[in-house]
Amino acid sequence: MRPQAPALREKEYGIWQTWTWSALAKLAQSLACGLHQAGLKRGEHVIIVGANRPRLYATMLAAQSLGAIPVPLYQDAAAAECVFPITNAEVRFCVVEDQEQVDKMLEVREQCPQLTHIFYDDPRGLRHYLEEGLGALQELIAAGEVYAQQHPDFFDAEIDQVQPVDVAAMFFTSGTTGNPKGVVHTHNSLIDRAQAGAEFDRLTSDEDVLAYMPLAWIGQNIFSYAQWLVCGYVVNCPESAATISIDLKEIGPTYYFAPPRVFEGMLTSVMIRMEDAGSFKRGMFHHFMNVAKKVGPALMDGLPVGLVDRMQYALGNWMVYGPLRNNLGFSRVRVAYTAGEAIGPDLFTFFRSIGINIKQLYGSTETAVFVCLQPDNQARADTVGVPCKGVEIKVADNGEILVKSSGLLKEYYKNPSATAEVLSADGWYHTSDAGFLDSHGHLKIIDRVKDVGRLVGGANGGAMFAPKYVENKLKFFPHIKEVVAYGDQRDQVCVMINIDFDAVGNWAERRNLPYAGYTDLAQKPEVYQLIQECVEKVNADLAQDALLAGSQVSRFLVLHKELDADDGELTRTNKVRRGFIADKYKPLVDGLYGGQTEQFIETVVKFEDGRSGSVSATLKISDAKTFTPVKAAA
């Protein structure tokens, strides 16, 4: 027992505030008693909306203590996106962070009349709100404290009724093809996977974690909630999204998780700063990075390294790698994971070469995250690791990966037909991912089964086409932020590209290339030449792969706007909605495949304040050089 050990930290007004485990337990008790008094029943769903905040974490603990089921939603979701989850789960109670989220809940009340109770954590801006059923979380806590004093045995008695097989939480999928599905998890499934991951990486109560990803994402729930409770380590909540990089440096987490795009952003910012540095510093950086690339991964994997190389690396660690790790906030990281999308080999190698133990994992909402993990000395960019404790994997005849583990979902809420589609009678979960186990027992993911297609006609007729594989190879370049690839049942592969505005903007400024915003920069001939070089490097690489050589990109264009979840083009977890984009940008797809050299497009966009507008441009369409496939040796 460690009642006075720190459980949570929250940065407020620039100062880190600490919550001990005993203080957190008392808060959870008060909230549970307050929610009980307000009418929350066992088995009911409670919506949680907001950033990572101690009192929202305590609310989830309180709800689970009463046998109720927390349902976190994405805080950046539009009000309309909240209607289906609230209606589907018959939600009466909602606990939100601030005024922005209160306004959303009040907006959907007309469509969700059952939403009778809305509690908020941050009272700023809400003083004159007089809506029925709206109240401050602080008032609920105060009422709960009184109830707890009057009924001292109530809280423990409620906890005693909760069973491991009871539902612990529900997470809605991103809904790429229709309404989202509520993934139901029990206490057993979440705790089992949290323990399996903790055991694999030898996690202890000494870890420090930065909780900055959305609560609605199960990855955040596992790393900063389930494993937090299993291991007893400290979870740190940033002050705001704008201060995450500063807070990361201050905390110096030992256990870190981020999707590849976060690591891409870090590397891009490093390279931008180095391009702006003086010639001596830039030369020193590139010299020691060459040493790191040669020696670093071998040192991370515990392989033998020559004395001269080891001494050069030690010097580089003192002059470059150590200060760089410190600047990124990774000076204390023992384990860093990435998942959700494939990570580029160069990006993966960069972080491992400077002494950061970055690894990949494989999992999903339905599997409570942990299916495959990479051992410390077997981290490779082209696999997602080996099955962890309690997991069985087999590959179906069509290449689909099937998983069996005690971390699987119980069901999709109120959707037995969807449940039956993914859970077989003998307990196998159909992941919808295509892949295979290599000779070392590591899992390799190719793409989604439904997205793996074939090219028809032309020189590449019959060749396999894996769009995500092509997209990810292009996204490995720091100048490319997002890609949408098409080719299934067509005679060639064509792509639409989003440039990384910061990286390309910096590149343009160093070349004295003026631009008036994203749309203008994206259509510069010099930018097209830059992107064409990236596309052709990927084509040269694909030509080396007998299986995917036919997936080389023949034509491309650079989009006039960034793909955005608010415009329906990405999910809230930033996955491309390829079908939606094909319909929305049909003139561009037709232009790519119709041989045009340019195409006019006008697009409706949503601004942050809720207003709509339009962006129009005439986009250039370019051809890319393709390469003759390299024949495999006989």
The number of distinct structural domains making up the chain is 3
C-alpha span between 329 and 333 (Å, rounded): 8
In a domain, 477, yes or no: yes
In a domain, 422, yes or no: no
In a domain, 181, yes or no: no
Claim to verify: residue 223 and residue 308 sit in the same structural domain: no
Q: What is the DSSP letter of 226?
A: I
Name the domain boundary from 234, 257, 280.
257
Claim to verify: residue 468 and residue 547 sit in the same structural domain: yes
pLDDT < 70: residue spans in the chain: 1, 175-177, 608-610, 631-634
C-alpha span between 394 and 402 (Å, rounded): 5
C-alpha span between 366 and 189 (Å, rounded): 10
Name the domain boundary from 214, 241, 257.
257
In a domain, 11, yes or no: yes
Could you report the per-residue pLDDT of 504-543, keeping only the tens digit for each? 999 999 899 999 999 999 999 999 999 999 999 999 988 8
Claim to verify: residue 444 and residue 478 sit in the same structural domain: no
C-alpha span between 634 and 632 (Å, rounded): 6
C-alpha span between 7 and 233 (Å, rounded): 7
In a domain, 350, yes or no: yes
Nearest partner of 519 among 587, 608, 601, 622, judged by Cα: 601
Q: Which amino acid is at 537?
A: K
Q: Tokens in use for 377?
A: 């000395």
Domain that holds residue 340: 265-401+430-449
Give the H/E segment covering residue 236: strand 234-237
Claim to verify: residue 385 and residue 492 sit in the same structural domain: no
Claim to verify: residue 382 and residue 474 sit in the same structural domain: no
Q: Tokens in use for 551?
A: 């997936």
Three-class SS state of 313: helix
Q: In this predicted structure, what is the pLDDT of residue 145?
A: 97
Q: What is the DSSP letter of 628?
A: P
Burial class (CB in 10 A: 0-12, 13-18, 19+), 318: exposed
Claim to verify: residue 237 and residue 296 sit in the same structural domain: no
In a domain, 573, yes or no: yes
Q: Which residue is it, tokens 């989850």? A: 85
Q: What is the DSSP letter of 565?
A: G
In a domain, 189, yes or no: no
Claim to verify: residue 247 and residue 271 sit in the same structural domain: no
Q: Tokens in use for 568?
A: 């329906």
Claim to verify: residue 517 and residue 439 sit in the same structural domain: no
C-alpha span between 248 and 266 (Å, rounded): 12
The CATH number of the domain where 581 resides is what? 3.30.300.30
Claim to verify: residue 303 and residue 327 sit in the same structural domain: yes
| Beta carbons within 8 Å of 433's beta carbon, 6+ residues apart | 400, 401, 445, 446, 447, 448, 449
Claim to verify: residue 104 and residue 11 sit in the same structural domain: yes
Q: Tokens in use for 211?
A: 């909780």
C-alpha span between 74 and 50 (Å, rounded): 7
In the structure, how many helices (H) and strands (E) does the chain have? Answer: 22, 28
| Beta carbons within 8 Å of 105's beta carbon, 6+ residues apart | 47, 49, 79, 82, 94, 96, 115, 118
In a domain, 490, yes or no: yes
Q: In this predicted structure, what is the pLDDT of residue 454?
A: 86
Claim to verify: residue 456 and residue 345 sit in the same structural domain: no
Claim to verify: residue 209 and residue 71 sit in the same structural domain: yes
